[in-house]
Structure 1
Amino acid sequence: KTSSNRYLRLLAVSRLFLDNFKNIQSSWVTQGSYIGQLALLFGANDLGSTMMEENVVKAAGAQNRMNQEEMIRLIKDVDEIPAKRDTAYNILEIY
């Protein structure tokens, strides 16, 4: 498992060098909600989604879950604007 520190540093460097990628998603499912939230300060601009059922990560032993209200709070707590999007990154609703 990659340390949280290393994950966040890699994310920040990725944002700098991969400037042709408009969106970088935080991996809160594997890293936990706190590190997922911090990732928004290290270059990620997408917290991802609430997981209805995520079998691959669950099979690997991760137990992280988050509902919509919790996700909105995490995003607002770092002074970002939460929004619901579709898979093509079209904004459907701003909270």
Structure 2
Amino acid sequence: DHIKAYWVMLGKATAQTALHFGANDLDGTITDGGELTHAYAAEGEVKMTKAEIITMIQNAGFEAVERDTVYNRVVEAAV
């Protein structure tokens, strides 16, 4: 099982904290119709670059790993 920390709704700091409490999937994918998500975004942000997400995970003390839709490791993430 996997637990997502959806940083757009939680905010970056809370999403990082969620990693320490068992979340193992930092998520933030936004679809083209993301107006509702934008309206409820915790910090008013709805986008981060791959490098920003990797840095956020590493700053929380974890290894950033890219995975496919069934959680198989694709590549080690690098900034």
TM-score, structure 2 as length reference: 0.76
- Give the root-mean-square deviation of aligned CA atoms: 1.9
Pick the structure with more helix per residue. Answer: 1
Alignment of 1:1-95 (within 5 A): 22-51=1-30, 53=32, 55=34, 56-58=36-38, 60-62=39-41, 63-64=44-45, 65-95=47-77
Consecutive unaligned residues in structure 1, runs of 5 or more: 1-21
Residue-pair matches, total: 73
Consecutive unaligned residues in structure 2, runs of 5 or more: none
Q: Once the 2 structures are TM-superposed, how far is the Cα of residue 68 of structure 1 from its aligned partner?
A: 0.6
Pick the structure with more strand per residue. Answer: 2
Partners of 2:4 and 2:52 lie apart in 1 by: 17
TM-score, structure 1 as length reference: 0.65
Question: Which structure has the bigger radius of gyration?
Answer: 1
Q: Which runs of 4+ in 1 moved over 3 A?
A: 49-54
| Matched residue, 1:18 | none
Higher relative contact order (CA 8 A, sep 6+): 2
